[in-house]
Amino acid sequence: MNRTHTCNALTSENIGERVILSGWVNSRRDLGGLIFIDLRDREGITQLVINPENASDVADICRPIREEWVLTVCGIVGARPDDMVNKKIGTGKIEVNLEKIAIENKSQPMPYHFNDAQASEDLRLKYRYIEMRKTKLGSYLRLRHDITKHIRDYFDENGFIEVETPILSKSTPEGARDYLVPSRVFPGQFFALPQAPQQYKQILMVGGLERYFQMAHCFRDEDLRADRQPEFTQIDVEMSFITEEDIYELVEGLMTSIFREIKQIDIDTPFPRLSYEEAMFQYGSDKPDTRFKMRLVDLSSVVTHSGFQVFKNAIGDGGKVMAINAKGLNSIASRKTIDEWNDIAKLMKAKGLTYLKIEDDGTIKSPIAKFLTEEEINDITNLTDATSGDIVLIVADAFLTAAQALGRLRTEIAEAHGMIPDNTYNFLWVNKFPLLELDEEAASFIPIHHPFTSPVKADIPLLETNPGGVKAQAYDVVLNGVELGGGSIRIHDAELQQRMFEILNISDTEINSKFGHLLDALGFGAPPHGGLAIGFDRLVMLLTGAPSIRDVIAFPKTTKSSCLLMDSPSQVDGQQLNELALTIQQK
């Protein structure tokens, strides 16, 4: 028997037809005489009725059937009595009176109750096939497919060519830890799985493809988070003969069309832009959530000569006194709550947090009030726009420390107190990043983005005099406080690229062995080019509202990078190790 309809297809118009359905037993209600079975496939649910008076042989077969058994059934579509219509399902007006039934497969009792949203994630990961059969996961995977298809169409329509780049690649210094694959043919040598197809896509530009994209699988052997998996998918893009503006336009077009198609939401373009410096000053983050205000305020100028030593010293040491105004939260700012906020500030390496409460009657309460003049207090409340019922949180520290502590507090407080509007999607470009940062341990510069990022043209001479002051032609696209993706205009001049490696303190030998191929390629007529990569799993996570990217990946790994379904990683036998010339060191 081959099915004639899905379990969501039948309506009153089919009444009287003989149909064949296949699916899983969603639930079974045996009334002794009458038996009802809800049959489910990926499209929906249809109620089956077995009446022993009409079909006693079918009823006998049905008695032992349990949840999740797999059936193919044949019967006549009938109308339900008016008062028996089930409004919860699309097929609620009809039912199928069974004439024939085939049990395709039995099932063990379910290991957990999937109606139960509380079931532990261990079980959901181990029994991933059950999870995708009955819960949101199945619909998320379908949505993920829809988005993938839409992306491929978008790039195709814009003249892009999808190229697959190797998974067995080469380990290069810098960046994340590599996953390594031993070579059998070259004992003691290794492939690395790509952290990103970065060099390949630049080389595709040298190859004259001009517009490349790929749904690229990437691997990074670093510790996990709710939004980080060891393997993940990027929408990887590279273009020749373009400027930053072309990238902005391309991504804005992609995002608006995805949101229109998938969510029926119109996103405003162009996306607002903030420089890295503005983002840090206003939000204390390089990926600010702009769905709510509570911006950072620099109080340094009004407390430079403060009697409060902590402020004075912080500024004297070249730091800043920064604040946020938690509007209207004075009433909930108990001792305990302020302690929790203080812990968050310390978590972000700040030495501590102080505050200024504006009581309902307008009086100021603050542990540091006695150190401040009336004028200083007035300046603080004016700058932070603080009025009755507000509490101003203040951190004095090195600028970046103070800003990041308040930036973190800002999002924690907003989340905890419902200050973030639902169904709002705030895109943002963050650009003008510094090119390099000083690695204190190694006492040398390391790239903020990656070593192929082009400096802003005007800053190139600064490379020789003040490398830390050079700005990069790099940009991140941020959505609701999540770093969705980022990219840059690349260096396409071999000499400049060589000089960049030298500034990064990479030895000539290493430049040759690790990057010789790239320098070669740049030397054979590399066009100016640039691109970006967008975290596809994160995008789907935000589009579904899922709390973790695990929820939008078919077979995700745990926070220790193991797979509970396959029980990987696992040991291999000695023969395999021998072939690869590997021995295992006991730790």
Partner RNA sequence: GGGGUUGUAGCGCAACUGGUUAGAGCACCACACUGUCACUGUGGAGGUCGCGGGUUCGAAUCCCGUCAACCCCGCCA
Which residues contribute to the site for RNA (CB under 7 A)?
Answer: 27-34, 36, 38, 47, 49, 51-53, 66-67, 80-81, 84-86, 88, 92, 95, 109-113, 115-116, 118-123, 125, 174-177, 195-196, 198, 220, 222-228, 347-348, 446-451, 548, 550, 558-560, 562, 564
Which amino acid type is present at position 234?
Q
At its nearest, how many Å lie between RNA and the CB of residue 176? Answer: 4
Backbone angles phi, psi at 517, to 5 degrees: -60, -40
At its nearest, how many Å lie between RNA and the CB of residue 516? Answer: 17
Nearer to RNA, 302 or 322 (CB): 322
Nearer to RNA, 113 or 260 (CB): 113
161-162 vs 211-219, strand pairing mode: parallel
Angle between helices 508-522 and 198-206 in degrees, nearest 10: 40
Nearer to RNA, 216 or 303 (CB): 216
Contact (CB, 8 A) for 452 and 497: yes
CA distance linking residue 303 with residue 387, whole number of Å: 20
Residues 6+ apart with CB under 8 A from 5: 14, 19, 20, 21
At its nearest, how many Å lie between RNA and the CB of residue 495? Answer: 21
Q: How many Cβ atoms sit within 10 Å of the Cβ of residue 578?
A: 10
Nearer to RNA, 205 or 356 (CB): 205
Contact (CB, 8 A) for 413 and 341: yes
At its nearest, how many Å lie between RNA and the CB of residue 257? Answer: 26
Nearer to RNA, 98 or 368 (CB): 98
Residues belonging to the chain: 587
Nearer to RNA, 8 or 257 (CB): 8
Contact (CB, 8 A) for 67 and 40: no
Quick one: how far is CA 409 from the chain centroid?
21
CA distance linking residue 284 with residue 287, whole number of Å: 9
Which amino acid type is present at position 160?
F
Contact (CB, 8 A) for 218 and 196: yes
Q: Could you identify the residue written with the tokens 């009595």? A: 81
Nearer to RNA, 225 or 517 (CB): 225
At its nearest, how many Å lie between RNA and the CB of residue 89? Answer: 7
List the beta bridge partners of residue 29: 36
CA distance linking residue 34 with residue 535, whole number of Å: 52
CA distance linking residue 195 with residue 177, whole number of Å: 8
At its nearest, how many Å lie between RNA and the CB of residue 491? Answer: 13
Nearer to RNA, 148 or 562 (CB): 562
Nearer to RNA, 428 or 553 (CB): 553
At its nearest, how many Å lie between RNA and the CB of residue 33? Answer: 2
CA distance linking residue 202 with residue 450, whole number of Å: 13
Tokens of 409: 């507090």
At its nearest, how many Å lie between RNA and the CB of residue 515? Answer: 11
At its nearest, how many Å lie between RNA and the CB of residue 48? Answer: 10
Nearer to RNA, 55 or 326 (CB): 55
List the beta bridge partners of residue 537: none
Closest to 106 in 3D by CA, of 24, 3, 2? 24
At its nearest, how many Å lie between RNA and the CB of residue 82? Answer: 10
At its nearest, how many Å lie between RNA and the CB of residue 304? Answer: 29
At its nearest, how many Å lie between RNA and the CB of residue 125? Answer: 7
Nearer to RNA, 156 or 439 (CB): 439
Closest to 89 in 3D by CA, of 30, 34, 27, 132? 27
At its nearest, how many Å lie between RNA and the CB of residue 88? Answer: 6
Task: Annotate 113-161 with DSSP letters as a single string.
Answer: -TT-TTS-HHHHHHTHHHHHHHSHHHHHHHHHHHHHHHHHHHHHHTT-E
Q: How many CA atoms lie within 13 A of 300 on its CB side?
A: 19
At its nearest, how many Å lie between RNA and the CB of residue 49? Answer: 5
Count of helix runs (H) and strand runs (E) in the chain: 17, 22
Nearer to RNA, 122 or 164 (CB): 122
Nearer to RNA, 383 or 503 (CB): 503
CA distance linking residue 71 with residue 107, whole number of Å: 11
Task: Annotate 1-56 with DSSP letters as a single string.
Answer: ---SS-TT---GGGTT-EEEEEEEEEEEEE-SSSEEEEEE-SS-EEEEEE-TTT-H
Nearer to RNA, 6 or 558 (CB): 558
